[in-house]
Amino acid sequence: MRYVLPLTDPVLATRSICVTLSGLRILDDVSIGIPEGTVTGLIGPNGAGKTTVFNVISGFVKPDSGEIRIDGRKLGHIHPHRLTELGIARTLQGVGLFPSLTALENVILGGSSRVKSGIIAQALAMPWTDTEQADLRERALAIMTELGVESDAARLPGELPYPIQKRVALARALVSDPKILLLDEPAGGISAGDMADLARLIMSWVPKRTVLLVEHHMELVMEVCDLIWVLDAGKVIAAGTPEVVRQDPAVLAAYLGQDGAA
Ligand SMILES: Nc1ncnc2c1ncn2[C@@H]1O[C@H](COP(=O)(O)OP(=O)(O)OP(=O)(O)O)[C@@H](O)[C@H]1O
Ligand SMILES: [Mg+2]
């Protein structure tokens, strides 16, 4: 698929986002668009500002200026705990599971704001008297089965190998049935075989879902992305298809500046 930039009707867009943290300009006029039903990459060297973009989209960081649009509609203040209502879910860089909850309980929490009575205690309360909560539990187990981690449902995250923890974190993001999925380094710390599985999984979600993927593994990015945005030092320095971006001199220079990490 070819994209003519700027995109006319992205499902998710940032417009001129500026962020200052501790007196430092972290994002400088960042405008990116994510076309519906695609896997769109957000890449760049360490410290470029990728996770900060996710934090702005999900309401953890308030930008100095600029806006977020979903389906062309400008969002006001974004409450992180209400993200699922907007049809958005994210995974955290690393894993970010609650260590004292089982894998299944962690996954259930990813869908708990869709349960009307969904405060954490109720979402996790046993036995499952409320049908809605029972449905959520069933959905959580179904997603864990889809991701091959159902046999680990009763285990605590600390008992699980890292790649399995990453899958549980993915299941937690998927359980709310998000329209838009933000993945922050899903391939971090996993093997080549697991990465091939991950590529297949990500591609199986589109076009039903739209995926924004932050990732340092270029093989994965180049394989799964329809469109890629490149950040360096808080600014967008390039955008386009994988073929275009991989040959862009500004992108090569940015990665070479990082010890040739491309
Ligand atoms: N709360 C904060 N206060 C000050 N600086 C911050 C804060 N959070 C992030 N930064 C800085 O902002 C810059 C961008 O960080 P960010 O985590 O968004 O980068 P990234 O592209 O996700 O990097 P990586 O690939 O290493 O995950 C970095 O220089 C980081 O040190
Ligand atoms: Mg990051």
Digit-coded pLDDT (tens) for 22-72 = 999 999 999 999 999 999 999 999 999 999 999 999 999 999 999 999 999
Task: Give the per-residue pLDDT at 2.
Answer: 53
Phi, psi (deg, nearest 5) at residue 218? -65, -30
Low-confidence spans in the chain with pLDDT less than 70: 1-4, 6, 113-130, 258-262
Measured in Å, how far apart are the chain's first and last C-alpha atoms? 24
Q: Domains (ranges, CATH) in the chain?
A: 1-87+179-262 (3.40.50.300), 97-177 (no CATH)
Structure tokens at 145: 């089965």
Q: Model-level pTM?
A: 0.91
Is the CB of residue 48 below 6 angstroms from any atom belonging to ligand 1?
yes
Q: At a CB cut-off of 8 Å and minimum separation 6, what does 40 contact? A: 34, 210, 211, 212, 213, 225, 226, 227, 228, 229
Is the CB of residue 93 below 6 angstroms from any atom belonging to ligand 1?
yes
Q: Give the C-alpha separation, 168 to 42, whole Å.
A: 23
Q: Which ligand is in closest contact with the Cα of 20?
A: 1
Digit-coded pLDDT (tens) for 132-148 = 778 889 999 999 999 99
Mutate to test the pocket of ligand 1, among 30, 32, 50, 53 (most ligand atoms within 8 A of CB): 50
User: Strands 180-184 and 12-21: what pairing?
Assistant: unpaired
Q: Give the C-alpha separation, 47 to 69, whole Å.
A: 24
Task: Give the per-residue pLDDT at 76.
Answer: 84
Query: What is the rounded radius of gyration, in angstroms, for the C-alpha atoms of the chain?
Result: 18
Q: How far is CA 81 from CA 84, 109, 113, in A?
A: 7, 11, 8
Task: Give the per-residue pLDDT at 130.
Answer: 67
Task: Give the per-residue pLDDT at 203.
Answer: 96
Task: Give the per-residue pLDDT at 259.
Answer: 53
| Ligand 2 centroid, distance to 56 Cα (angstroms) | 13
Phi, psi (deg, nearest 5) at residue 164? -70, -40
Are 198 and 187 in contact by the 8 Å Cβ rule? The answer is: yes
Strand residues in the chain grouped as ranges (E): 12-21, 24-34, 39-43, 65-70, 73-74, 88-91, 180-184, 210-214, 227-232, 235-240
Q: Give the C-alpha separation, 165 to 135, whole Å.
A: 23
The candidate with the shortest Cα–Cα distance to 60, out of 21, 103, 113, is 21
| Ligand 1 centroid, distance to 26 Cα (angstroms) | 7
Task: Give the per-residue pLDDT at 122.
Answer: 54
Q: Give the C-alpha separation, 182 to 84, whole Å.
A: 12
